[in-house]
Each structure stands twice: as structure tokens, then as C-alpha cells.
Structure 1
Amino acid sequence: MKSNNSLTPSYFQFTVFADFGPLRYLFFILSLLIYVTIISANLVIVLSVCLENSLHQPMYIFICSLCLNSLYGSTGFFPRFLMDLLSDTHFISRPLCFTQMYVITTYLAHEMSLLTVMAYDRFVAICQPLHYHSKMTLRTVLLLLILVVLYSVGGVAYVLYQPTTLPLCENKLNKIYCNDWSVTELSCEDLTVIRITSHYYATSFFLIHLSVILYTYLRILFLCRRSSSEFRGKALQTCLPHIVIFGNFCISLFCEMSLSRYKTDEVNTFVINVLTMEFLVIPPIMNPLVYGLKLPQIRKLRQFDKTHYNIYDQYKLEL
């Protein structure tokens, strides 16, 4: 129950963990296997790009950044989640809670921003192939990655500032990880203004990135309509991994945002856990699998093929 006097709890309690009895060891093993799979699959891509000189090109640098972000987000969730599966109590200190909240939120922001930059990269490669090397230089790639980090970190810092300063009357979180809105809802104050502001920022952030991605693919689509079937096939092969990754991420994001709009006591606990796990598990697994299977350079490296490919041949599409 909420009290009239505001409090500053030194810890929070996760309330959605059920007492699974001996089954918790099975869930722990399955979750650990998922975490190990995420680490292994993403490290394969990261090491392939870092160690192979022929992959030191914009396309693969962005893929490497996407996999590093998957490792970052998964590490912000799984170690604590694995510990909670084996624990009889599910308390987390205030500093650790806000740290986890920051890591998971920046993971989300980085993922969306990286996918937007990758869409622009494909737009230049397909629609302006002769200018690709002059536009997507190493300096430009590094500048884009720096902007992604600064934009995401700055936006997340603004969003998370409010929950850290609000007086809280409760410490029970109906989640399996620390979420900014779940913590904000524990406040003793009226949240109308904060609710409108946070929803406006989240919607604006998503729509800005979505608009850029849709614009790039509309331009690619218009170009494909005027081109040969061979060109369309090459364009689809180039864009397909990004389309799959972006579509999967949007579905995961939609599940998470839809869940946050409901009062968690009105939703089945199993549904809460599944949707949250889908948001934090599926994209980090899908990213390296899709790119590892679809991109010839990375796939052949995994098969220990010594043949080297030129990135310009991958992108150059004859009109």
C-alpha cells in the first residue's frame, strides 16, 4: 500500500518470480544456454570482422557494432536474471536497479539507431554505388557510430533522470528486470505530466528512426521498379538481412511497449515473462544468425575458406 509520506527505498523487489520448486534448476540451465549461445554467436561475428582485413568495411563495421550492442544488452539482463532464478528472495539494490535500467534502455536506443544508420548505408550502396566509397569513408562511419552513442546516451539520460529523483512510496516491481516506467509508477506524486512527456519522447524517438528507414527503402523500391529483374534480385539479397533484423526488432519492441501500457496485475505472469524474454533474447540471437548465414564473406570465414571478397563487389549493383 502507498503511504502518505514519500520514501526513498534502498532496494526493490521483483514480484513476478514464481516458486517453481525443482523446476527452477531446469529454467536456470535453459536460460544459461541461451545466454551462452548469445555470447558465442555474437563473438563469432565480432572476431571475424576484427581479425579479417577484408571485412574492415562500413557494412561489416556496422554489423560488428550491432553484435557488440547485443552483448551489451544481454549482459545487462542475464547475470541478474540467472541469479534470481536460483534465489529464494528477489531483491535488488537501488544503485544496481538503476544501472540495469540504464544498460537495457541504452541497448534499446543503440539498436534502433544502428539499424537506422545501416539502412542509410544500404541506400547509398544501392542507389549511389559509384559514390559509395567517397561517401561512406572510415571517418564517416566512425562519426556515425559516435553520433549513435551520443544521441542514445543523451536521450536515455534525460528519460531516466526523472525516476531517479521521484519520491517513491513502494518498492515492488512487477517485472523480471528494472524498467524505467515500472519504477516511475511507484511514485507518490501525480504522474500525468511525466506520463505524457515520456510517451511523447518514446513515440518521437521511434517515429524519427522509422521515418528514415522507410524513406531509404522507398527510394530503393522506386529504383528497383525501373531496373531489371537481376538488379532487383541483387538489391533484395543486399537488403534482406537488414529487413529481417529490423522487422524482428520492431515486433519485440511492440511487445514490450504494449506490455508497459497494461497494469501488470491484469496480465498473466507467464505472458509478462515471455514477452519480456522475447524482447531481450530474440534480437541478440537473431542478429548474428541472420548475418552469419546470409552474408557470404562471414559464412565462408566460418567454413575456414581462404578466399577474400571485396566489399565494393558486394554492394555494386549494375543498373
Structure 2
Amino acid sequence: MDNVSIVRIFILTGLNETNNYRVALFTFTLLYYCMILFFNLTIIMIIILDKALHEPMYILLCSFCINGLYGTAGFYPKFIFDLLSSSHVISYEACLLQAFVMYSSACSDLSILAVMAYDRYLAICRPLHYHSFMTKRRVCQMVCFSWITPLCIFSINVVLTSRLRLCSTIMKKMLCVNWIIVKLACPNSNTFLNNIFAYFTIFLYVSDGFFVIWTYMHLIQTSVRSKDDRVKFMQTCVPHLASLTTFVSIIIIDFMSMQFGSTDLPQSLQNLISIEFLLIPPVLNPLLYGFKLSKIRHRILGFVHVQRK
């Protein structure tokens, strides 16, 4: 192929094994996506409508849930449509867009988790400086930074990928992944910039991970000294720590699978590994925070009680 414009569609072969149970999978996926929408929108609306929850921790949680909706919107509608279709294809432009949404959403999650960790660090380790530093304006700046940075980074990533000449249209996945698109480049294509930028991105977000670890080391050291700090840690940090552990574990499994995974694995297992971050966190996070954070839990229980009357 002399020009990348020749490639207009990609064939997603990861869905080939779903033909025998397509209706059941469609029903389950549709219900699951409705659960994701319901749980996340519930948390978002409670925080937006209740002025008592317009505090840094809850604003960041609202941002976290919005990002969960953004990431899942890049996958589930297309996947649900594919389950009803006999041909599993995606246009070149839509594939780049889906890859952009997937990567930027995952990195935004990590950025927001890092900001949430810093918020808890200030609240527990530096309580006297908390309100003077974590103003609404500063929180909005942090939220914008956690969103805009991944969007800018992966805009550049998509531009670098779009300049490659591709020699295949077969994608052995059920969704578009940037590194797979790069692997489809013709042998004489220059992927040096793609590789350099990929390593830079990994370094940047691994640094975020180390920052969170450093933050929690201080949080734990401070919390063990005081009963009040221990209570605050258990109430506000445990959901965050559970979300972080789940997210990091999923990303590590996905990364190890991409780098060292065997193609001999059953396609269904490969599919599950590739979409874990779209299955577990979008449902687990709102449930964790909804049940563990007392203010949100009381709002939900109060609403349920009113509806029963």
C-alpha cells in the first residue's frame, strides 16, 4: 500500500467466537451498560444537586464518575451494535477515535486517582493547610489538568499513528487499540516517534503511580498515630485505595498480556483481559464510594426511603 488512505475499515476478528451466544451476550451487555449508566449518574447527580457535597473530595469523585461514563461510551454502544451485526468492522477514523477514548480515559482515571490521593494527604497529614490550599478554584484546575493532559497526549499519539502506512486491515481484537494499529504498519514505516512517545507516556503515568504510593506511605504513617486519623482514613481512603488497587492490577494484567501474552490463549480470555478496565471499575467505583462514604450513602438511603412512602 502506498498510502494510508487506502485502509478505510478494520475487521475486528475478536468477535468471531460470539456467534453461538450472541443474543445472550447482547442482553447481558445491554443490562450491564445500563447498570454502569445508572450507578455513575446517581453519584454524579447526588453530588451536583446537594450543595453540602460541593467539597473537594466529592467534586473529584464526580469527575471520576464522569470519566467512567466517557470511557465506557467509547466501547459499549459500538460493541452492542456489533453483537447484532453479521459483520464486525469499524471505519479507520472511528477506530482511531475509539483508541483515543480508551487510552485517554484510562490515563485520566490514573490522574484523578493521583489528585484524590493528594487531597486525602492534605486532609489527614496537613489539616491546617487543607482549606487554604484545596479551594474550589484549585480543585477545578486539578480536575481540568487531569483531563486535558491525557487528551493532549493522546491527540498527539493519534496524529503519529494516523501518518503510518498500513499493510493489513485485520485486527485480532474486539476493540481498537493503538499499539495494534501501529503493529499493522508496513515494514518500511517509521514507527520510531510512536515508540518514543509511547515510552514517554508510560514513564509519565508510572510517575503518577509512584506519587500515589508515596502519598499513601505518608497517609498510613500519620493515621496510625491518632484514632481520629484512623477513622478518617478508613472512611475516606479505603474506597480510593480499593479503586486504585483494582485499576492498577487491571492495567498491569492488560500490559503484560499485550507484551508477553500468548496468542494460544482462548479468544474469549483474550477478550476478557482486553476489556477488564471497562468491566470492573465503572461499576465497582460508584458502588464502593456510594456505600463507604457516609454522606453519599445517607443521601441514597434517604431518597429510597422517600420513594417507599
Write the deviation string for residues 180-214 of structure 1: whole angstroms up to 9, x where unpaired. Answer: 00111000135663564244224202221012111
The answer to whether structure 1 residue 205 and structure 2 residue 233 are counterparts is no
Q: Return closer, same or farther for 1:95/1:264 CA change in 2, 3 Å cut-off.
A: farther
- Asked if 1 retains the 8 angstrom alpha-carbon contact of 2:161 and 2:194, the reply is no
Among the aligned pairs, what percent are the same residue? 32
After superposition, where does 1:1-319 map in structure 2 within 5 Å?
A: 7=4, 8-188=6-186, 189=188, 193-194=192-193, 196-225=195-224, 227-262=225-260, 265-304=263-302
Partners of 2:256 and 2:160 lie apart in 1 by 22
Contact 2:9 2:89 in 1 (8 A): yes
1:82 to partner: Cα distance: 0.8
SS in structure 1 opposite 2:280?
Answer: helix
Contact 1:12–1:93 (Cα < 8 Å) also in 2 = yes
- Conserved in 2, the CA contact under 8 Å of 1:14 and 1:175? yes
Is the CA contact 1:174–1:264 (under 8 Å) kept in the aligned structure 2? Answer: no
Q: Which has the higher helix share?
A: 2
Distance 1:53 1:164 in 2: 45
Deviates more, 1:19-28 or 1:136-145: 19-28
Match of 1:313 in 2: none
Amino acid at match of 2:96: F
Distance 1:107 1:238 in 2: 23
Q: Counterpart of 1:303 in structure 2: which amino acid?
A: L
CA RMSD of aligned residues (A): 2.0
Structure 2 unaligned runs (5+)? 305-309
Greater mean alpha carbon deviation, residues 25-34 or residues 210-219: 210-219
Task: Say if 1:255 and 1:279, in contact at 8 Å, map to a contact too.
Answer: no
* TM-score, L = length of structure 2: 0.92
In the aligned structure 1, how far is the partner of 2:95 from the partner of 2:242?
A: 32
Relative to the length of structure 1, the TM-score reads 0.89
Aligned pair count reads: 302
8 A Cα contact 2:157 2:194, kept in partner: no
Please, which runs of 5 or more residues in structure 1 have no aligned partner? 307-319
Tell me the SS of whatever aligns to 2:16.
Answer: coil
User: What's the CA shift string for 1:107-137, capped at 9, x where partnerless?
Assistant: 1111111000000000000011122111100
Alpha carbons 2:3, 2:165 under 8 Å: kept: yes
CA distance in 2, matches of 1:96, 1:246: 30
Q: State the shift of 1:287 in Å.
A: 1.0
Give the match for residue 307 of structure 2. none
- Which amino acid is the alignment partner of residue 135 of structure 1? F
Residue-by-residue CA offset, 1:34-62 (whole Å, 9 max, x unaligned): 10000000000000001111001111000
* Farther-moved stretch of structure 1 (182-191 vs 285-294): 182-191
Cα-to-partner distance string for 1:69-99 (whole Å, 9 max, x where unaligned): 0001111000011111121111111111111
1:190 to 1:164, Cα distance in 2 relative to 1, 3 A: closer
Secondary structure at 2:15 match in 1: coil
Q: Retained in 2: the 8 A contact 1:264–1:272?
A: no
Deviating more after overlay: 255-264 vs 20-29: 255-264
- Deviation of 1:140 after TM superposition, in Å, equals 0.4
Aligned AA for 1:205?
A: L
Contact 1:6 1:169 in 2 (8 A): no
| Alignment correspondent of 1:310 | none
Task: Tell me, in whole angstroms, the C-alpha distance in 2 between the residues paired with 1:126 and 1:135.
Answer: 14
User: What amino acid does structure 1 have at the position aligned with 2:114?
Assistant: T
Partner SS state of residue 18, structure 1: helix
Alpha-carbon displacement from aligned partner over 1:217-256 (angstroms, at most 9, x marks no partner): 122122234x134532332332101100000000111122
Q: 1: CA distance between counterparts of 2:86 and 2:262? A: 22
Structure 2 counterpart SS, 1:92: strand
